[in-house]
Amino acid sequence: MSKTKSKSVMQAELHALEGNLEAMELLARRFFDGRGVEQCYLMSYVWSSIATGQGVKHLGSLSHFCFKKMSHAQQSSVHQHIDTIKGTLASSVVASVA
């Protein structure tokens, strides 16, 4: 069953792509919990990993847990997903994430 993204999740995605760390954390937690969006450990891992790379160290344990919960196929493709998101981040953020 597919859950439609809530307005707050859609807004957080826009802010996260502009480099807003609070929005990245919100997305990591929402995808983990499935609140306002379909639960997805892969996307929780993606956002928590990007935020951790930006200095939000307390998301490291969430990232680690999500990785363990992903399927092998998701684990194999996760870095491609991270690279895709990084490719759409604001240019000032990309330099510090790389």
Contact 82, 63 (CB under 8 A): no
Q: Is residue 28 part of a domain?
A: yes
Domain boundaries, position 40: 7-97
The sign one gets for the Cα dihedral 83, 85, 90, 92 is negative
Q: Is residue 2 part of a domain?
A: no
Q: Is residue 83 part of a domain?
A: yes
Q: Is residue 54 part of a domain?
A: yes
pLDDT score for 69? 97
Q: Is residue 1 part of a domain?
A: no
- Domain count within the chain: 1
Q: Is residue 65 part of a domain?
A: yes
pLDDT score for 24? 97
Residues 17-46 have a mean pLDDT of 96
Residues 26-43 have a mean pLDDT of 97
Whether 1 shows a pLDDT value over 90: the answer reads: no
Q: Is residue 35 part of a domain?
A: yes
Per-residue pLDDT tens digits for 43-97: 999 999 999 999 999 999 999 999 999 999 999 999 999 999 988 887 655 455 5
Contact 67, 75 (CB under 8 A): yes
Contact 66, 41 (CB under 8 A): yes
Q: Is residue 24 part of a domain?
A: yes
Of the chain, the end-to-end C-alpha distance in Å amounts to 35
Number of other CB atoms surrounding residue 3 within 10 Å? 12
